[in-house]
Amino acid sequence: MSAAPRPRLRRTYAVWELTLACNLACAHCGSRAGTARPDELSAAEALDVVDQFAEVGIEEVTLIGGEAFLRRDWLQIAAAITGRGMRCTVTTGGYRVSAGMARGMRDAGIRQVSISIDGMQATHDALRGRAGSWRSCLQTAGHLHDAGVAVACNTQVNRSTAVDLPELYEVLADAGVIAWQLQLTVPMGNAADHPELLLQPPELLVVFPVLARIARRSIVDGIQVYTANSLGYHGPDERLLRFRDEPGSWHGCQAGISTLGIEADGAVKGCPSLPSAPYTGGNIRSRRLADIKAEAPELTFNVHAPGRARDGLWGFCQTCEYGDTCRGGCSWTAHTLFGRRGNNPYCHHRALTLHGQGLRERLIPIEPASGVPFDYGRFTMVTEPADARWPAESLPPLTADAVRWPADWPTP
């Protein structure tokens, strides 16, 4: 008798943490990277993972860390990925990438690398914990260009970086980046220890007009500027910032639907950003990837029966007009704030709606993180009048006047 057919495979994109070793010391690192995990996959196990990616229909694999290139066999792994017909990209801190390494990436079949740059030089170096790391990122971009590898950039949006974004855009344009992804700093890992870095939800009303103005400029310059899944949703600039080239709107967390995350020790999650403890569905050392992703509830929580899309929503998101499709925005963001998904205050539509009612939300940390990779603390949230006095013990709220614009940008 022939075996029963497998359910249709859902995931086409994988993000793979090759090692937790890192040569930076970022204040906002969600994985608390620095030292390699004690039980990271062997070379043979890693190559078997590549075969399993191909088996389940993965089309693109992004290699991350820590810092992926601190693993000695990382280019062998990259070459195996491209050799199996999958696209291989890399996200790097960009610190001390040599011209020879850039050529090695090209020869392994890597065609695009995203460099993490968080603000202008002083801001970036402070956040990344290494003097000279900003300049090293730009040198890395030059080495990649010379090797024929396309360069993109990703930037964390937080209280420190938000004011630098327009000036940083010009630096990136001059450096020849083809795309710039903006993502929210979320209180996981090291960032959970630094709540002063986090934006408050009403400050999205300052940030999104800045992002929209930059995105309009980027159309002229031919650069793709877009927000990551942690930053949104359903605001007036959603099409500009997320769906510039196609109709649509934010349609919910894709963890376990179109994405997959693998940690350096073989742990499998539906999204690489999710906290490890609640969302690890198994380990590739003990179960085949196809079985984990088809059966593990930690990877199938976004698959809803008809009429049940609002299950698990609570608070504002439970009654929101977009609840059936949005499903509470980014699960990672909500869980690291409240210890469960389904209610996400970092929402542009939500901030605008509350502002129209004369209200705002404010997050207050009440429980620290434990200090392990991918951990999180806990916050409570207050809803108060929008014109209430900002607490004296908090940093002053972000204002539009604090954002630094290049002198030659036209007034909007």
Domain that holds residue 229: 13-299
pLDDT at 5 over 50: no
**Confidence tier at 126 by pLDDT (50, 70, 90):** very high
Q: Residue 181: which CATH number?
A: 3.20.20.70
Residue, of 6 and 197, whose pLDDT is higher: 197
Residue 195 within a domain: yes
**What would the two tokens of residue 63 be?**
């290699």
**Confidence tier at 175 by pLDDT (50, 70, 90):** very high
Residue 271 within a domain: yes
pLDDT at 1 over 70: no
Residue 283 within a domain: yes
pLDDT at 8 over 70: no
Percent of the chain with pLDDT over 70: 96
Residue 119 within a domain: yes
Beta bridge partners of 152: 114
Residue 405 within a domain: no
Residue 287 within a domain: yes
**Interval 91-117: pLDDT, tens:** 999 999 999 999 999 999 999 999 999
**Confidence tier at 78 by pLDDT (50, 70, 90):** very high
Q: Is the distance from CB of 32 to CB of 372 less than 8 angstroms?
A: yes
Backbone angles phi, psi at 183, to 5 degrees: -135, 150
What pLDDT sits at residue 132? Answer: 98
> What is the helix (H) or strand (E) element at residue 166, kind and residue range?
helix 165-174
Residue 291 within a domain: yes
What pLDDT sits at residue 123? Answer: 98
**Interval 301-320: pLDDT, tens:** 988 776 788 889 999 999 99
**Interval 248-292: pLDDT, tens:** 677 889 898 899 999 999 999 999 999 999 999 999 999 999 999
> What is the helix (H) or strand (E) element at residue 337, kind and residue range?
helix 331-338
**Confidence tier at 4 by pLDDT (50, 70, 90):** very low
Q: How many domains does the chain have?
A: 1
**Confidence tier at 247 by pLDDT (50, 70, 90):** low
Residue 150 within a domain: yes
pLDDT at 3 over 60: no
Backbone angles phi, psi at 407, to 5 degrees: -65, -25
pTM, two decimals, is 0.94
Q: What is the mean pLDDT of residues 107-131?
A: 98
**Confidence tier at 46 by pLDDT (50, 70, 90):** very high
**What would the two tokens of residue 405 be?**
């614009």
Residue, of 238 and 32, whose pLDDT is higher: 32
Cα distance between residue 184 and residue 162, in whole Å: 10
What pLDDT sits at residue 6? Answer: 35
What pLDDT sits at residue 246? Answer: 63
Cis-peptide into 66, omega within 30 deg: yes
pLDDT at 22 over 50: yes
Pairing verdict, β 112-116 and 150-157: parallel
Nearest to 231 by CA among 161, 174, 300: 161
In 3-state terms, what secondary structure has residue 379?
strand
**Interval 201-221: pLDDT, tens:** 999 999 999 999 999 999 999
Which residues, 6 or more positions from 33, have their beta carbon under 8 angstroms from its beta carbon? 20, 21, 22, 24, 26, 65, 66, 67, 373
Q: Residue type at 233?
A: Y
